[in-house]
Amino acid sequence: MLGSLNSTSHDQEEEDPSATDLQQQQQQPSHSTGFTSNSHSQQAIHMRQLLISCAELVSQSDFPAANRLLSILSSNSSIYGDSTERLVHQFTKALSLRINRLHCPGSLLMMMNINYPIAAATATATAIANYDIDPSLQSCYLSLNQITPFIRFAHLTANQAILEAIQVGQQSIHILDFDIMHGVQWPPLMQALAERSANNLHPPPMIRITGTGHDLNILQRTGDRLFKFAQSLGLRFQFHPLLVLNNDPTSVALNLPSTLTILPDEALAVNCMFYLHRLLKDDSRDLRLFLHNIKAMNPAVVTIAEREANHNHPLFLQRFIEALDYYTAIFDSLEATLPPNSRERLAVEQIWFGREIVDIVAAEGENRRERHESLETWEVILRSSGFSNVPLSSFAHSQAKLLLRLHYPSEGYRLQIHNNSFFLGWQNRALFSVSSWR
């Protein structure tokens, strides 16, 4: 089985939570009466309704009324509480930042007794703008890879698709990895390629990886680690960093023909792990040009992982409700699979998922980056760009099931196959999809 690297994370200090009763009751709005997973207590239902009511008031520019609800929500939220209290904390912060952006920056936040002073709001907004090079987010990525199955599931499934698309005896493989991060995806694939060559009496292939990123030092360290690992397996290996300039992923994506060289004897694999949504703006022009450039390079396989959600809805309220249901399932899965005092979970919720929530809720226009779409939408875009879906194998499915059983033994995780693609979810909510294209 293709494995996955263990990773470490930076701990954070915790404090004891303080419980607070509801200060007042609000009229129940006419929305669905529960979260989409298993937080169905009356408290959870009520807090969800208050959050949606607050979002409605924000969408109507009724900021004084929204502030009153935010004060109630804040007093009943905590980063140290149960999954509902932690989720409410993140969405309350995101709503307060949206109000701060839309109406009189500073004054309303100071009027609200919700513990989000202007300095904190500004710092959060700055972190969002620079999250690709934020060291705390880099360490949170490693924690997310360790404590949840989401990234490992995507890497494992994509690696198997690449392995099956590369013919036995192929002399050279070029992997183009968009947003390579720490490169944790590739050692298991290297090991699988080395073992396959040994079993079939073929010389191991030359492996070239071109990895994109926003920090040249991180890219170089990633390349060094991968080179040393390849050496330990007796593999020939080259790493080429491709720096994203001005924090703009389209700068690399749209200039591929002039920046990337594919050798005649190379099999090209293009890897897009949680990347395509970053190329979406208010239109899909940049994304379609990117896909046109990828298709022109005639890759053997294109592997794609994305969040299974519609966080790109043009209407704020619809986007808010979709995000609320999606991250409820995320937080419920963390609640069920990690101990209450898990520092890694605290960091992942606050820093990684908290950043996503703030971006979806508080940002608009060119500043909004987390434009997640469902696989159904990606399928339409990919097919219209000339790509055909490659079915993921039954062996890949068996590996994904084994991953969940060995590393994340919880009955709450669900693995499903639909239209030749894999979906990983919590309870009845699909959360992530992986697909393969050519």
Domain positions in the chain: 42-129+315-367, 147-307+372-388
Q: What is the mean pLDDT of the chain?
A: 85
Residue 203 CA to residue 206 CA, distance in Å, equals 9
- Pair of tokens at residue 117: 């002073």
Per cent of the chain over pLDDT 90 is 72
Residue 30 CA to residue 37 CA, distance in Å, equals 19
Q: What pLDDT digit, counting tens, does each position of 35-48 carry?
A: 344 445 888 999 99
**Confidence band of 52 (pLDDT split at 50, 70, 90):** very high
Q: What pLDDT is recorded for position 30?
A: 31
Q: What is the dihedral of CA 200, 201, 203, 209, to 10 degrees?
A: 20
**Confidence band of 340 (pLDDT split at 50, 70, 90):** confident
Q: Provide the residue type at 288 as one letter.
A: R
If one compares 118 and 242, the residue with the highest pLDDT of the two is 242
Q: What pLDDT digit, counting tens, does each position of 268-325 carry?
A: 999 999 999 999 988 889 999 999 999 999 999 999 999 999 999 999 999 999 999 9
**Confidence band of 115 (pLDDT split at 50, 70, 90):** very low
Q: What pLDDT is recorded for position 104?
A: 57
CB atoms within 10 A of CB 395: 12
Residue 186 CA to residue 182 CA, distance in Å, equals 10
Q: What pLDDT digit, counting tens, does each position of 91-104 carry?
A: 999 999 999 998 75
Q: Provide the residue type at 314 as one letter.
A: P
| Domain spanning 147-307+372-388, CATH architecture | 3-Layer(aba) Sandwich (3.40)
- pLDDT over 90 at 403, yes or no: yes
Parallel, antiparallel or unpaired: strands 206-213 and 301-307: unpaired
User: How far does CA 262 lie from the centroid of its chain?
Assistant: 29
| pTM metric for this prediction | 0.85
